[in-house]
Amino acid sequence: MARKYQWRTETSIISGGYPGEPVGVIPSDSSWHETSALSGSTTAEYYFHDSDSADNNNASRVVVKIQESWTASISEQNYLTITLNTTVRSIRRDNIVGYPGSIGRNMFIRRQEGGTVLWSVSNDPVATAHTVLGSPLQLDSYTFTLAPGQNLSRGSIYFRSNTAGHDGDTPPSTYVDIMWMGTAFKNTLPIDYRPGATIDGDGVWQSHNRTGGKAHILTALGSWKEMRTDNGLIDSDNPPSIYTNKWYDQRKLGKE
């Protein structure tokens, strides 16, 4: 059975935002898509709102158009690795409602928290409709890995928008909005485990739970079957066990 991962386009607020603030994706994409395909692509617009008074009746919208393609690989231990190619096609401010305010916003694009700033703008006015980024911004190819067993997920762009003069504020802060934008990926695979260890020709114990490590048992039908979590496709809370007066979890057997 092919191993699968999930993806979707999303705007996900990590910190900040105001109550009832509209955030989302055009076209709307609220469901995770499960796939075994090792490549894919998306184009979508990701939006949030700014308001000095935290009021949708006095707000403006920021829309970030992102085009992406990716390749995926899954290791023998179910680690999901994604390599992304991302182009920010444009950024605009529109949908001016009432009076959004007079305080400009500083915006930053990174790949991850604490990462290199790949694009920024200072003191962007919130009360007028305008183009913030008019020329496509091609980001360098970026690779990250999600471990199995924890339903870990992350997006492709770490976007920060804060009130001018508050670049140094550490979130959470009422002056700072931080969100994931772009294609998000989730590793839904459980921890894959191979029990046991054997001693190699140099007298070193080698764990089966490594790339290329494995052990087999002869079944009643006379065929050899690998002793392993069911190819990583069953619940990670159901590990192999060994019986010594009672059943013990084999997770810690051997050395890695």
Helical segments of the chain, H only: none
Measuring CA to CA, which residue among 144, 147, 2 is closest to residue 78?
147
pLDDT at position 245: 67
Q: What is the mean pLDDT of residues 187-208?
A: 76
Tokens of 22: 């509209």
Measuring CA to CA, which residue among 5, 4, 2, 3 is closest to residue 184?
5
Q: Is the pLDDT score of 115 beyond 80?
A: yes
Confidence of residue 200 (pLDDT cuts 50, 70, 90): confident
Beta strands in 152-203 (DSSP E): 153-154, 157-163, 176-181, 183-186, 197-199
41 has which bridge partners?
Answer: 69
CA distance 93 to 6: 31
Q: What is the mean pLDDT of residues 55-59?
A: 97
**Percent of the chain scoring above 70 in pLDDT:** 83
Residue 227, SS3 per DSSP:
coil
Tell me which range, 121-130, 196-205, 244-253, is most confidently predicted by mean pLDDT. 121-130
Tokens of 182: 């772009």
Which of residues 142 and 200 earns the better pLDDT score? Answer: 142
pLDDT at position 123: 98
Which of residues 227 and 92 earns the better pLDDT score? Answer: 92
Residue 48, SS3 per DSSP:
strand
Tokens of 238: 């159901």
Q: DSSP state, 20?
A: T
Question: Quick check: 64 and 27 in contact, CB under 8 A?
Answer: no
Measuring CA to CA, which residue among 163, 162, 47, 53 is closest to residue 98?
53
